[in-house]
């Protein structure tokens, strides 16, 4: 018996476990049956706190209702959404009508409170016309305004600072199968940062590759998220005011919306969860 196991269970439950991160909780649950019981059984509040502190937009009431229907609630959601997904070229046909929710958070490295957060709801039917897959988020979400705040970045060295410190988290929730997955975790750096000439805007770009799943496109398609930062007047106040998501194949051909959503659903359903980012 170690010293930790001699502690009163109430002390562990109320003073120790809530201070640990989700990944640490998952590892600790495999140490012993006692820890597994305390962490995994009848401890939804612990996982609710862990998830909402990692992804603040989960505080939105409609999202909470969806996650409550997951097999093990917030613990299942965290297990799905926290690890990065390794994309596999495997395909399971989706139902004729399906929906998923995209949660976007933009924050500075090491800070939990986001600079920008957005929720995007997609309902897809096979009968929908073919249009390019795009998502635009500006200032608010379908379920109300989310919190924003300024970051203070001096104009000199701004691009280097944003590339080293601005982080994007993108979680997709599939509401039919009740699964989730992270396309970007908050440890991923942008691939490029570019100041727009004659403008107060700076574009920060994140990219990831996914299987194309269709003869209409190349084997892999590129998913690009472009975050627009705007400088407030002449001072050093910066804020995120727009987020744009596009999906194209390697020849620059836009992926149609019905195909793009199937690409995302395939990643959630068949992608391998990894412990750490590459």
- pLDDT for the residue 204: 94
Q: How many CB atoms lie within 10 A of CB 145?
A: 9
pLDDT tens sequence across 244-254: 888 899 999 98
- Residue 121 corresponds to which tokens in the numbers above? 């709801």
Cα–Cα distances (Å) from 146 to 37, 117, 250, in that order, read 35, 6, 34
Q: In what order do the strands lie in the sheet with 97-108?
A: 116-125, 97-108, 166-174, 179-184, 84-86, 272-274
Contact 147, 118 (CB under 8 A): no
CA distance 30 to 23: 12
The DSSP symbol for 148 reads -
Q: What is the pTM of this model?
A: 0.77
pLDDT attached to residue 145: 45
Q: State residue 144's pLDDT score.
A: 45
Q: Which helix (H) or strand (E) holds 66?
A: helix 61-67
Q: Which helix (H) or strand (E) holds 180?
A: strand 179-184
The residue among 139, 152, 101, 153 whose CA lies nearest residue 123 is 101
pLDDT for position 165 = 92
What per-residue confidence (pLDDT) applies to 143?
46
pLDDT tens string 176-191: 878 888 888 877 889 9
Residues in the chain with pLDDT values less than 70? 1-5, 42, 84-98, 122-148, 197-198, 233-235, 273-278
């Amino acid at each position: 018996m170690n010293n930790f196991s001699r502690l009163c269970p109430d002390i562990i439950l109320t003073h120790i476990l809530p201070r640990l991160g989700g990944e640490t909780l998952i590892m600790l649950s495999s140490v012993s049956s006692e820890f597994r019981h305390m962490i995994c059984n009848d401890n939804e509040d612990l996982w609710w706190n862990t998830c909402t502190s990692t992804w603040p937009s989960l505080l939105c009431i409609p999202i909470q209702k969806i996650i409550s229907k997951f097999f093990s609630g917030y613990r299942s959601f965290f297990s799905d959404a926290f690890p990065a997904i390794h994309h596999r070229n495997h395909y399971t046909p989706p139902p004729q009508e399906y929906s998923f929710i995209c949660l976007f958070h933009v924050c500075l490295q090491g800070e939990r409170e986001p600079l920008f957060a957005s929720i995007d709801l997609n309902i897809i039917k096979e009968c929908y016309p073919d249009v390019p897959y795009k998502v635009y988020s500006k200032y608010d979400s379908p379920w109300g305004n989310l919190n924003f705040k300024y970051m203070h970045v001096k104009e000199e060295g701004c691009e280097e600072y944003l590339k080293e410190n601005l982080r994007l988290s993108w979680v997709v929730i599939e509401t039919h199968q009740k699964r989730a997955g992270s396309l970007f975790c908050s440890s991923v750096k942008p691939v490029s940062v570019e100041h727009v000439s004659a403008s107060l805007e700076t574009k920060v770009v994140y990219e990831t590759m996914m299987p194309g799943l269709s003869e209409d496109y190349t084997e892999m398609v590129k998913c690009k998220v472009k975050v627009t930062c705007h400088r407030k007047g002449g001072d050093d106040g910066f804020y995120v005011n727009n987020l744009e998501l596009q999906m194209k194949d390697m020849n620059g051909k836009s992926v149609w919306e019905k195909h793009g959503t199937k690409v995302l659903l395939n990643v959630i359903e068949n992608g391998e969860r990894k412990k750490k980012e590459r």
